[in-house]
């Protein structure tokens, strides 16, 4: 028997996150019985985080200063941490320039420097880290294929190109025989997890039509994705044909080759053909033996180089659509990512700044590329935007898209592209291409086609970071329940919800990478963000967690209409999502919802970054599922860039939709930090930052806006949001309360001004009249009572 090389991936067999989260606890028990290896939403043995009760006597909105203090506590609780995120240097002087109420305000440089220290990428990687992460063994490098995948996993191969000898039912038809395809949760689901033959004999086959003459070089096989069945192929043969009538078998010398298949349902196994591989149009996979307690089921990918057809005079029409942009389209490991980011900042030093927000468990730095016309500092009135990719290390497309995006912005800015120039001058952009660098390196070493569905998803500690942020939804909903039971609205909070104490304790199961991102979120006043994932084609918006722990239920935020707008902006401009003829990726048809969905209505997620961002900071955050294929082959990257380029740009531009302004002291013109901005009829407030500037994302309309700050009288005005690209300027000037003015004057040892003396005299007289009236009322009541007795 001759077999191709078999690569053994060791990881917890995974399924789509929607599949996992939609199941009740009963399914966890079933999974533990059916699937070898560990399984969990936060996969690290039996380590879980327990949600404890909250003391409502201390529950209130937290100020930015308190949030920065809590960051220090977060960063010092775990003894096994590799590093702390660098401290943020803030200054607090004032500026004399005031934003006007025009539609396009003049630029003013702020005095609050929300920034992290610059990283020098000329420095080498720490030798201890290098030794820990990269061994010098040959198997640490991903296997390079002679020919790329045809595209069963990426859906480049259409359903009509797949045929089979037989199949059990529609949900197990040949169109489901794609590498890494994920099943639905129901037994008998129409979206099942493999092609399964109707008959159990050696005459069954799965056929792929390449549509062009192709030099086939190999096959990758996988078992069935299912929580109900355990099916995989042990051995198989391969045949080739040009007309589906005459078939030529793959040979091993003078004998027909028999290839080794799988030993479990999830690990992809590669078989390479010998050097005299056949050129043909069709290829068949013909199972010869299978798991004894299962049946004939498989998922597959085919490797092959398509050749020009000499008989086709219209061959030029078959050229794959790519992109005209000259970018570095390949997968970049940590070292190559550093080189690329360094090359971008060298090409555009005036608009770029590289910094690190912390280190991973293995010591890899979490680099961020900042792009702005004044990199390294916050500008008054200029919003802060962020893209985060690689939260799940094996979802690699987001990482490459952000590396492409920083190259593209640099190139187009230098060419004078006015759209890009305006974006750079009016926005401070932060790109974090790899939130989970340890997980990515694990998946990268196996390669895009052999990493499977879950290898590299979790952190090195086994933590799923998409479930690892503080669960502030519970704090908010518990406070609402407390108010309902006690009729006490003083404990209600709807923004800047503090992190519960249990989350900052030493034994809290919080990844170092999560802590670093929280520190980053607390120290830069982000307005808008998107979290780039992979494995589906949909945009989700908060809330991500259901209130009653239902597997899925629509759970909107007070800003639901704007979140739906944000999701629609990305989905409607994405070339694949907006294609009405596309097929579903795995087990959900999101086209029914126009490719957007409330996160909790898809599947409930406790501790998501999106919910945390909305409830703990001013920032609105959505999740973008970029592609059916989590780790697409490098040959797919130019097409994926073209699919997402416009979406990435137009989504960033949404940071300029709504209201913005500066809240100042009417007497001194100094900016007022921590002022609360309340929009009538929207039960979610935001706060001003260090110099008093604020940004409130809103859809077009007229809004009643009230601003309040400690020591100041509230101020209310009507602000109208227009449809233009630029936000409406809505500034506020607050007057101090008499009590606050008195405090400040007495603190300085000064004399009271006449207007304040008059005001205090009026207050005393009013208080005296009120107390006299109350005394007289009591005396009159007592007199009437005495006469009545």
Which active-site residues does the annotation give? 625
Distance CA 502, CA 705 (A): 36
**DSSP character string of 332-388:** --HHHHHHHHHHHHHH-TTTEEEEEEEE-TTS-EEEEEEE-SSTTS-EET--EEEEE
**371, 352 contact by CB (below 8 A):** yes
Please give the Cα distance from 747 to 502 (Å, whole number). 39
C-alpha–C-alpha distance, residues 401 and 501, integer Å: 37
Tokens read off for 388: 């985060």
637-653 and 560-573 are packed helices; what angle lies between their axes, rounded to 10 degrees? 150
C-alpha span between 433 and 439 (Å, rounded): 13
**What is the distance between the alpha carbons of residues 517 and 578, in angstroms, rounded to a whole number?**
32
Letter string b/e over residues 256-270, b meaning 16 or more CB atoms within 10 A of that residue's CB: ebbbbbbebbbbbbb
Of all helices (H) and strands (E), which one includes residue 127?
helix 127-133
For residue 168, what are the contacts with CB-CB under 8 A and spacing of at least 6? 196, 197, 198
Q: Where are the alpha helices (DSSP H) in 75-126?
A: none
Burial of 775 from C-beta contacts in 10 A (0-12 / 13-18 / 19+): exposed
What's 712's DSSP letter? Answer: B
Does an H or E element contain 137, and which? Answer: none
Question: SS3 sequence, 579-619?
Answer: CCCCCCCCCCCHHHHCCEEEHHHHCCCCCCHHHHHHHHCCC
**Distance of alpha carbon 695 from alpha carbon 378, whole angstroms:** 14
Instruction: Tell me whether residue 532 is exposed, middle or buried, using C-beta atoms within 10 angstroms of its C-beta: 0 to 12, 13 to 18, 19 or more.
Output: buried
603, 552 in Cβ contact below 8 A?
Answer: yes
């Amino acid at each position: 028997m001759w077999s191709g090389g078999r690569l053994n991936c060791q990881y917890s067999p995974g399924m789509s996150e929607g599949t996992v989260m939609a199941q009740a606890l009963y399914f966890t028990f079933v999974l533990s019985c059916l699937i070898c290896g560990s399984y969990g939403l936060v996969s690290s043995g039996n380590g879980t985080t327990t949600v404890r009760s909250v003391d409502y006597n201390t529950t209130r909105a937290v100020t930015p200063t308190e949030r920065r203090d809590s960051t220090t506590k977060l960063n010092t609780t775990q003894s096994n941490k590799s590093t702390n995120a660098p401290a943020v240097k803030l200054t607090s002087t004032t500026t004399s320039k005031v934003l006007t109420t025009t539609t396009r305000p003049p630029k003013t440089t702020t005095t609050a420097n929300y920034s992290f220290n610059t990283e020098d990428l000329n420095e080498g990687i720490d030798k201890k880290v290098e030794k820990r992460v990269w061994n010098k063994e040959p198997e640490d490098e991903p296997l390079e294929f002679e020919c790329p995948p045809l595209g069963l996993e990426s859906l480049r191969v259409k359903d009509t190109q797949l045929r089979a000898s037989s199949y059990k039912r529609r949900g197990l038809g040949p169109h489901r025989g794609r590498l890494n395809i994920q099943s639905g949760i129901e037994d008998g689901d129409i979206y099942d997890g493999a092609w399964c033959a109707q008959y159990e004999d050696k005459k069954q086959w799965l056929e792929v039509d390449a549509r062009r003459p192709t030099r086939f070089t190999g096959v990758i096989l996988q078992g069935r994705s299912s929580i109900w069945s355990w099916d995989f192929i042990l051995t198989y043969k391969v045949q080739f044909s040009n007309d589906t009538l005459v078939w030529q078998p793959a040979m091993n010398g003078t004998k027909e080759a028999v290839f080794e298949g799988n030993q479990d349902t999830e690990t992809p196994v590669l078989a390479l053909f010998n050097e005299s591989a056949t050129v043909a149009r069709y290829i068949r996979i013909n199972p010869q033996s299978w798991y004894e307690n299962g049946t004939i089921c498989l998922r597959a990918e085919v490797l092959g180089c398509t050749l020009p057809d000499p008989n086709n005079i219209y061959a030029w029409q078959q050229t794959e659509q790519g992109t005209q942009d000259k970018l570095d389209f390949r997968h970049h490991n940590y070292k190559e990512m550093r080189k690329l980011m360094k090359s971008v900042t060298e090409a555009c030093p005036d608009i770029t700044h590289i910094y690190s927000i912390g280190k991973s468990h293995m010591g890899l730095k979490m680099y961020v590329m900042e792009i702005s016309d004044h990199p390294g500092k916050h500008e008054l009135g200029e919003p802060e935007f962020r893209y985060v990719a690689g939260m799940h290390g094996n979802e690699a497309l987001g990482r490459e898209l952000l590396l492409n995006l920083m190259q593209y912005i640099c190139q187009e800015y230098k060419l004078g592209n006015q759209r890009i120039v305006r974006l750079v001058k009016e926005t401070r952009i932060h790109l974090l291409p790899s939130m989970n660098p340890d997980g990515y390196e694990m998946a990268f070493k196996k390669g895009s086609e052999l990493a499977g569905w879950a290898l590299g998803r979790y952190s090195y500690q086994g933590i799923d970071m998409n479930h690892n942020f503080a669960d502030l939804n519970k704090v908010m909903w518990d406070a609402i329940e407390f108010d309902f039971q006690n009729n006490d609205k003083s404990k209600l909070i709807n923004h800047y919800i503090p992190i519960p104490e249990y989350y900052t304790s030493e034994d809290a199961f919080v990844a170092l990478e999560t802590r670093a991102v929280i520190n980053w979120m607390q120290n830069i006043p982000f307005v808008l963000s998107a979290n780039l994932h992979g494995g589906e084609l949909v945009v989700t918006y908060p809330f991500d967690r259901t209130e009653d722990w239902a597997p899925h239920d629509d759970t909107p935020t007070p800003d639901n209409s704007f979140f739906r707008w944000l999701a629609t902006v990305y989905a409607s401009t994405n070339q694949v999502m907006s294609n009405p003829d596309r097929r579903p990726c795995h087990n959900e048809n999101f086209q029914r919802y126009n490719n957007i969905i409330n996160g909790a209505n898809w599947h409930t997620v406790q501790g998501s970054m999106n919910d945390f961002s909305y409830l703990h900071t001013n920032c609105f955050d959505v999740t973008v599922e970029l592609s059916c294929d989590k780790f697409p082959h490098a040959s797919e990257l130019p097409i994926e860039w073209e699919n997402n380029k416009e979406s990435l740009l137009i989504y960033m531009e949404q940071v300029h939709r709504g209201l913005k302004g500066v809240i100042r002291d009417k007497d001194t013109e100094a900016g007022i930090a921590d002022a609360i901005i309340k929009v009538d009829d929207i039960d979610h407030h935001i706060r001003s930052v260090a110099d008093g500037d604020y940004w409130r994302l809103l859809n077009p309309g007229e809004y009643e806006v009230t601003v309040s700050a400690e020591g100041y009288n509230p101020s209310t005005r009507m602000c109208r949001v227009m449809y233009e690209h630029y936000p409406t300027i809505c500034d506020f000037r607050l007057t101090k309360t008499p009590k606050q003015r008195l405090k400040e004057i007495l603190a300085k040892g000064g004399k009271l001004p006449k207007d304040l003396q008059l005001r205090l005299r009026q207050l005393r007289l009013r208080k005296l009249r009120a107390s006299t009236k109350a005394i007289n009322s009591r005396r009159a009541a007592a007199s009437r009572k005495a006469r009545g007795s």
